[in-house]
């Protein structure tokens, strides 16, 4: 069986600047955001080109940010205010002409910090390009080595004429992934916001979702509580493990020693059709 696919979200945190050509310089898009060529820089050969769909989102997005001002409406849309909002507006207005970085280097959130792509070998980086699929409100899905500018747009956002992006992207992402997931094991590490953009087909061999649980004291006994705040950070270490240990069934996680102390607990695994839900538990420190 082939190495499993690993679906992950992007991150709010992003590196600024870049060393790659801008989208306009690459000839991918015109200055208005109109698609003029396929955006294939860094794209793995198994990926279906989404340039035409991306052009529609870029055009709608530029129309929105070009009239944006630091008002409560736009503060809510971007989740930023004051200087951070002004910086985001500037970056977004320049997405066609600003320098690019590989997606795996652009994203700097906690999942990506734990994945620590800068320490991957060239061979591991090549493996990541084949296994990882990054969901994005602006790009749909990305290969880790695709070159992208700095930007800010959530999958849960809505744009004029397109509506909610997770809903708009869903048929395009499903079409792009249907062949890649056919008969394939998929580690679905997406949060709900991004999971809404993909309805997996029954032809997927196995779809594995993961939850992290803390064992905590509860009176004279203990209980398991789902991790919320650090969920992405914990998944970053799991992603790195899956790149070097291509697990195709949950039991293979028995050998995984999570750096934060979480252990695979087989008794909590549930199966519904081709969906398997796996739990990793951090035992109570006694």
Within-domain flag for 159: yes
Task: Dump pLDDT digits (tens) for 224-249.
Answer: 999 988 899 999 999 999 999 999 99
Q: How many domains does the chain have?
A: 1
- What confidence score (pLDDT) does residue 42 get? 47
Q: What is the DSSP string of 50-92?
A: -HHHHHHHHHHHHHHHTT--SSHHHHHHHT--HHHHHHHHHHH
Can you tell me the distance from the alpha carbon of 268 to that of 3, in angstroms, rounded to the nearest whole number?
Answer: 25
- What confidence score (pLDDT) does residue 188 get? 97
Instruction: Please determine, for residue 47, whether its predicted confidence score (pLDDT) is greater than 70.
Output: no
Can you tell me the distance from the alpha carbon of 243 to that of 125, in angstroms, rounded to the nearest whole number?
Answer: 9
Within-domain flag for 190: yes
| Residue 29 near residue 58 (C-beta atoms within 8 A) | yes
Within-domain flag for 176: yes
Average pLDDT over residues 10-36: 83
| CA angle, residues 142, 148, 152, in degrees to nearest 5 | 90
Instruction: Please determine, for residue 43, whether its predicted confidence score (pLDDT) is greater than 50.
Output: no
The mean predicted confidence, pLDDT, of the chain is 90
CA proximity to 118, closest of 143, 138, 144? 144
Query: In this predicted model, which residue has the larger pLDDT, 93 or 82?
Result: 93
Task: Dump pLDDT digits (tens) for 102-156.
Answer: 999 999 999 999 999 999 999 999 999 999 999 999 999 999 999 999 999 999 9
Write down the pTM of the prediction: 0.91
- What confidence score (pLDDT) does residue 72 get? 78
Report residue 204's pLDDT band, with 50, 70 and 90 as the boundaries: confident
Containing structural domain, residue 278: 1-17+101-286
Report residue 1's pLDDT band, with 50, 70 and 90 as the boundaries: low
Can you tell me the distance from the alpha carbon of 281 to that of 264, in angstroms, rounded to the nearest whole number?
Answer: 6
- Give φ, ψ of 277 to 5 degrees: -110, 125
């Amino acid at each position: 069986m082939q190495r499993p696919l690993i679906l992950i979200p992007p991150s709010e945190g992003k590196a600024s600047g870049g060393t790659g050509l801008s989208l306009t310089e690459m000839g991918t898009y015109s200055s208005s955001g109109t698609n003029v060529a396929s955006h294939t820089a860094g794209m793995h050969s198994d990926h279906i080109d989404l340039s035409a769909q991306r052009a529609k989102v870029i055009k709608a997005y530029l129309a929105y940010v070009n009239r944006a001002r630091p008002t409560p409406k736009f503060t809510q849309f971007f989740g930023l205010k004051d200087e951070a909002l002004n910086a985001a507006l500037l970056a977004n207005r320049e997405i066609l002409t600003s320098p690019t970085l590989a997606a795996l280097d652009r994203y700097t959130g906690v999942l990506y910090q734990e994945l620590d792509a800068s320490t991957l070998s060239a061979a591991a980086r090549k493996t990541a390009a084949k296994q990882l699929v990054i969901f994005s409100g602006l790009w749909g899905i990305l290969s880790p080595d695709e070159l992208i500018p700095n930007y800010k747009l959530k999958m849960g956002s809505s744009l004029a004429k397109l509506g909610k992006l997770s809903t708009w992207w869903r048929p395009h992402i499903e079409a792009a992934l249907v062949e890649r997931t056919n008969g394939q094991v998929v580690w679905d590490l997406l949060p709900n916001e991004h999971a809404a953009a993909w309805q997996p087909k029954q032809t997927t061999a196995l779809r594995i979702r993961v939850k992290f649980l803390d064992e905590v004291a509860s009176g004279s006994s203990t209980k398991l509580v789902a991790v919320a705040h650090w969920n992405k950070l914990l998944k970053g270490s799991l992603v790195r493990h899956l790149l070097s240990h291509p697990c195709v069934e949950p039991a293979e996680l028995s050998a995984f020693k999570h750096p934060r102390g979480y252990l695979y607990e087989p008794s909590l695994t549930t199966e519904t059709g081709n969906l398997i839900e796996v739990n990793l538990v951090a035992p109570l420190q006694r």
